[in-house]
Amino acid sequence: MTDPEEWTGAVADAAGALPVRDRAVRFEGHVWSIITEEVDFGSATAHRDVIHHPGAVAVIALDDADRVLLIRQYRHPVGGYLFEAPAGLLDAAGEPPRETAARELAEESGYSATDWHVLVDLYTSPGGSSEAIRVYLARGLTPLADGRPSTGEAEEAHLPRVWVDLDEARDLVLAGRIGSPTAVAGILAAWTARASGWASIRPSDAPWEARDRLLAADRVRLPRPGGA
Protein backbone atom coordinates (compact mmCIF):
# COMPACT_ATOMS: atom_id res chain seq x y z
CA MET A 1 0.00 0.00 0.00
CA THR A 2 1.27 3.43 -0.88
CA ASP A 3 1.82 5.70 2.10
CA PRO A 4 -0.31 8.86 1.47
CA GLU A 5 2.32 10.88 3.32
CA GLU A 6 5.02 9.89 0.81
CA TRP A 7 5.21 11.93 -2.41
CA THR A 8 5.99 9.86 -5.50
CA GLY A 9 5.67 12.47 -8.26
CA ALA A 10 8.09 14.97 -9.73
CA VAL A 11 9.80 17.36 -7.33
CA ALA A 12 8.70 20.65 -8.86
CA ASP A 13 6.28 23.39 -7.82
CA ALA A 14 2.94 23.24 -9.62
CA ALA A 15 -0.40 25.02 -9.80
CA GLY A 16 -3.31 23.53 -7.88
CA ALA A 17 -5.34 26.13 -6.00
CA LEU A 18 -7.98 24.75 -3.65
CA PRO A 19 -11.58 25.96 -3.98
CA VAL A 20 -12.45 29.26 -2.28
CA ARG A 21 -15.92 29.43 -0.76
CA ASP A 22 -15.86 33.11 0.11
CA ARG A 23 -13.52 36.10 -0.07
CA ALA A 24 -13.41 39.64 1.25
CA VAL A 25 -11.04 42.51 0.50
CA ARG A 26 -9.72 43.79 3.84
CA PHE A 27 -7.22 46.42 2.67
CA GLU A 28 -6.19 48.23 -0.52
CA GLY A 29 -2.82 49.92 -0.12
CA HIS A 30 -0.35 51.71 -2.37
CA VAL A 31 1.62 48.53 -3.05
CA TRP A 32 -0.48 45.50 -2.07
CA SER A 33 -3.93 44.32 -1.07
CA ILE A 34 -4.98 41.99 1.75
CA ILE A 35 -7.76 39.54 1.00
CA THR A 36 -9.39 37.04 3.37
CA GLU A 37 -10.41 33.77 1.72
CA GLU A 38 -12.34 30.82 3.08
CA VAL A 39 -10.44 27.86 1.67
CA ASP A 40 -12.02 24.43 1.22
CA PHE A 41 -9.49 21.75 2.23
CA GLY A 42 -11.97 18.95 1.65
CA SER A 43 -12.25 17.69 5.22
CA ALA A 44 -12.29 21.21 6.67
CA THR A 45 -12.32 24.89 5.77
CA ALA A 46 -10.02 27.63 6.98
CA HIS A 47 -9.83 31.41 6.66
CA ARG A 48 -6.54 32.70 5.29
CA ASP A 49 -5.36 36.29 4.88
CA VAL A 50 -3.44 36.67 1.60
CA ILE A 51 -1.30 39.61 0.53
CA HIS A 52 -1.70 40.21 -3.21
CA HIS A 53 1.68 41.58 -4.27
CA PRO A 54 2.86 43.01 -7.62
CA GLY A 55 6.02 40.90 -7.62
CA ALA A 56 9.59 42.10 -7.82
CA VAL A 57 13.04 41.66 -9.34
CA ALA A 58 16.53 41.85 -7.89
CA VAL A 59 20.03 42.03 -9.36
CA ILE A 60 23.23 40.32 -8.30
CA ALA A 61 25.76 42.53 -10.07
CA LEU A 62 29.27 41.08 -10.37
CA ASP A 63 32.32 43.01 -11.55
CA ASP A 64 35.30 41.51 -13.39
CA ALA A 65 36.87 40.51 -10.06
CA ASP A 66 33.73 38.59 -9.00
CA ARG A 67 32.78 41.15 -6.41
CA VAL A 68 29.11 41.57 -5.58
CA LEU A 69 27.60 45.05 -5.54
CA LEU A 70 25.44 45.54 -2.44
CA ILE A 71 23.60 48.63 -1.22
CA ARG A 72 22.84 49.59 2.39
CA GLN A 73 19.18 50.54 2.73
CA TYR A 74 16.86 51.37 5.62
CA ARG A 75 13.90 49.00 5.93
CA HIS A 76 11.25 50.33 8.25
CA PRO A 77 9.25 47.09 8.78
CA VAL A 78 12.30 45.46 10.40
CA GLY A 79 13.61 48.70 11.91
CA GLY A 80 17.10 48.49 10.55
CA TYR A 81 19.63 48.90 7.76
CA LEU A 82 20.10 45.91 5.46
CA PHE A 83 22.72 45.11 2.87
CA GLU A 84 20.73 44.23 -0.22
CA ALA A 85 20.98 43.52 -3.91
CA PRO A 86 19.47 46.33 -6.01
CA ALA A 87 15.79 45.44 -6.37
CA GLY A 88 12.36 46.83 -7.07
CA LEU A 89 8.69 46.16 -7.58
CA LEU A 90 7.10 45.19 -10.86
CA ASP A 91 4.91 48.26 -10.60
CA ALA A 92 5.44 49.87 -14.02
CA ALA A 93 2.62 48.80 -16.34
CA GLY A 94 3.88 46.95 -19.41
CA GLU A 95 7.54 46.98 -18.39
CA PRO A 96 9.20 43.54 -18.85
CA PRO A 97 10.91 42.20 -15.72
CA ARG A 98 14.41 42.37 -17.20
CA GLU A 99 13.91 46.04 -18.06
CA THR A 100 12.68 46.67 -14.53
CA ALA A 101 15.84 45.01 -13.22
CA ALA A 102 18.05 47.23 -15.41
CA ARG A 103 16.18 50.34 -14.27
CA GLU A 104 16.49 49.38 -10.62
CA LEU A 105 20.20 48.66 -11.00
CA ALA A 106 20.68 52.15 -12.42
CA GLU A 107 18.47 53.90 -9.86
CA GLU A 108 19.89 52.15 -6.81
CA SER A 109 23.54 51.71 -7.74
CA GLY A 110 24.36 54.05 -10.64
CA TYR A 111 25.51 51.20 -12.89
CA SER A 112 24.41 49.60 -16.15
CA ALA A 113 25.18 46.08 -17.37
CA THR A 114 25.58 44.44 -20.77
CA ASP A 115 25.33 40.76 -19.77
CA TRP A 116 22.09 39.52 -18.17
CA HIS A 117 20.97 36.07 -17.02
CA VAL A 118 18.44 34.58 -14.60
CA LEU A 119 19.99 33.24 -11.40
CA VAL A 120 17.04 32.06 -9.32
CA ASP A 121 13.29 32.51 -8.81
CA LEU A 122 11.66 32.44 -5.39
CA TYR A 123 8.62 33.25 -3.29
CA THR A 124 9.57 35.43 -0.33
CA SER A 125 6.75 34.39 2.02
CA PRO A 126 4.35 31.89 0.40
CA GLY A 127 2.53 31.29 3.67
CA GLY A 128 0.96 34.74 3.49
CA SER A 129 2.01 36.63 0.37
CA SER A 130 1.88 36.11 -3.40
CA GLU A 131 5.18 37.94 -3.88
CA ALA A 132 7.36 36.18 -6.45
CA ILE A 133 10.85 37.50 -7.14
CA ARG A 134 13.21 36.85 -10.02
CA VAL A 135 16.90 37.41 -9.24
CA TYR A 136 19.08 38.29 -12.21
CA LEU A 137 22.82 38.03 -12.67
CA ALA A 138 24.27 41.19 -14.24
CA ARG A 139 27.82 41.45 -15.55
CA GLY A 140 29.68 43.76 -17.87
CA LEU A 141 29.14 46.68 -15.49
CA THR A 142 29.69 50.33 -16.32
CA PRO A 143 29.10 53.34 -14.06
CA LEU A 144 26.51 55.78 -15.39
CA ALA A 145 28.04 59.01 -16.67
CA ASP A 146 25.71 61.15 -14.55
CA GLY A 147 25.71 58.87 -11.53
CA ARG A 148 22.68 57.46 -9.78
CA PRO A 149 19.46 59.18 -10.89
CA SER A 150 17.12 60.54 -8.24
CA THR A 151 13.81 58.71 -7.88
CA GLY A 152 12.27 60.91 -5.20
CA GLU A 153 11.76 57.87 -2.94
CA ALA A 154 12.63 58.57 0.71
CA GLU A 155 14.28 55.17 1.19
CA GLU A 156 16.45 55.74 -1.87
CA ALA A 157 17.78 59.19 -1.01
CA HIS A 158 20.96 57.67 0.46
CA LEU A 159 22.09 54.21 -0.67
CA PRO A 160 25.76 53.63 0.13
CA ARG A 161 27.19 50.81 -1.98
CA VAL A 162 29.92 48.32 -1.24
CA TRP A 163 31.74 45.71 -3.31
CA VAL A 164 32.15 42.34 -1.60
CA ASP A 165 34.11 39.37 -2.89
CA LEU A 166 31.67 36.59 -3.79
CA ASP A 167 33.33 34.11 -1.39
CA GLU A 168 33.16 36.64 1.43
CA ALA A 169 29.54 37.46 0.57
CA ARG A 170 28.65 33.76 0.83
CA ASP A 171 30.33 33.58 4.24
CA LEU A 172 28.45 36.68 5.43
CA VAL A 173 25.16 35.05 4.43
CA LEU A 174 25.96 31.76 6.19
CA ALA A 175 27.10 33.63 9.30
CA GLY A 176 23.77 35.45 9.51
CA ARG A 177 25.32 38.85 8.79
CA ILE A 178 23.17 39.42 5.68
CA GLY A 179 19.45 38.60 5.87
CA SER A 180 17.72 40.26 2.93
CA PRO A 181 16.02 37.38 1.05
CA THR A 182 17.11 38.51 -2.40
CA ALA A 183 20.71 38.97 -1.23
CA VAL A 184 20.72 35.60 0.54
CA ALA A 185 19.21 33.68 -2.38
CA GLY A 186 21.11 35.61 -5.03
CA ILE A 187 24.53 35.40 -3.41
CA LEU A 188 24.22 31.67 -2.71
CA ALA A 189 22.88 31.04 -6.22
CA ALA A 190 25.71 33.06 -7.79
CA TRP A 191 28.37 31.29 -5.73
CA THR A 192 26.91 27.88 -6.65
CA ALA A 193 26.55 28.80 -10.32
CA ARG A 194 30.15 30.00 -10.52
CA ALA A 195 31.35 26.75 -8.91
CA SER A 196 29.72 24.83 -11.77
CA GLY A 197 31.15 27.12 -14.45
CA TRP A 198 27.91 29.10 -14.74
CA ALA A 199 26.17 26.09 -16.32
CA SER A 200 22.97 26.64 -14.32
CA ILE A 201 22.20 30.23 -15.29
CA ARG A 202 19.28 30.79 -17.66
CA PRO A 203 18.69 33.32 -20.44
CA SER A 204 17.37 36.66 -19.22
CA ASP A 205 14.06 36.01 -20.99
CA ALA A 206 13.62 32.47 -19.61
CA PRO A 207 10.02 31.53 -18.76
CA TRP A 208 8.97 32.62 -15.27
CA GLU A 209 6.53 29.87 -14.41
CA ALA A 210 5.87 30.98 -10.84
CA ARG A 211 4.71 34.43 -11.93
CA ASP A 212 2.70 32.98 -14.80
CA ARG A 213 0.81 30.78 -12.35
CA LEU A 214 0.09 33.73 -10.07
CA LEU A 215 -1.16 35.84 -12.97
CA ALA A 216 -3.41 33.02 -14.15
CA ALA A 217 -4.84 32.67 -10.65
CA ASP A 218 -5.45 36.44 -10.31
CA ARG A 219 -3.06 36.69 -7.36
CA VAL A 220 -0.88 39.55 -8.62
CA ARG A 221 -1.58 43.14 -7.61
CA LEU A 222 -1.21 44.67 -11.07
CA PRO A 223 -0.14 48.30 -11.52
CA ARG A 224 -2.98 50.76 -11.75
CA PRO A 225 -3.21 53.43 -14.44
CA GLY A 226 -1.26 56.46 -13.30
CA GLY A 227 0.69 54.57 -10.65
CA ALA A 228 0.39 51.98 -7.91
Cα gap 98→203, rounded to integer Å? 11
Asked about 156 being catalytic, the answer comes back as yes
- pLDDT tens digits in sequence order for the chain, 228 residues long: 788 899 999 999 999 889 999 999 999 998 999 999 999 999 999 999 999 999 999 999 999 999 999 999 999 999 999 999 999 999 998 899 999 999 999 999 999 999 999 999 999 999 999 999 999 999 999 999 988 888 878 878 889 999 999 999 999 999 999 999 999 999 999 999 999 999 999 999 999 999 999 999 999 998 866 554
Question: Given 155, 156, 168, 209, which residue is catalytic?
Answer: 156
Cα gap 206→200, rounded to integer Å? 12
Eight-state DSSP code of residue 129: B
Q: Are 147 and 110 in contact (CB under 8 A)?
A: yes
Query: What distance, in Å, lies between the first and last C-alpha atoms of the chain?
Result: 53
> Of 16, 21, 17, nearest to 38 (Cα)?
21
Instruction: Compute, in degrees rounded to 10, the torsion defined by CA atoms 214, 220, 226, 228.
Output: -140
In this prediction the pTM is 0.94
> Of 63, 18, 17, nearest to 165 (Cα)?
63
Q: Are 227 and 29 in contact (CB under 8 A)?
A: no
Eight-state DSSP code of residue 194: H
Q: 62-67 contacts: CB < 8 A, separation 24 or more?
A: 62/137, 62/138, 62/139, 62/141, 62/166, 62/190, 63/139, 63/141, 63/163, 65/165, 66/165, 66/166, 66/194, 67/163, 67/164, 67/165, 67/166
Which pLDDT score is estimated for 228?
A: 41
Half-sphere exposure for 40 (CA within 13 Å, toward CB): 6
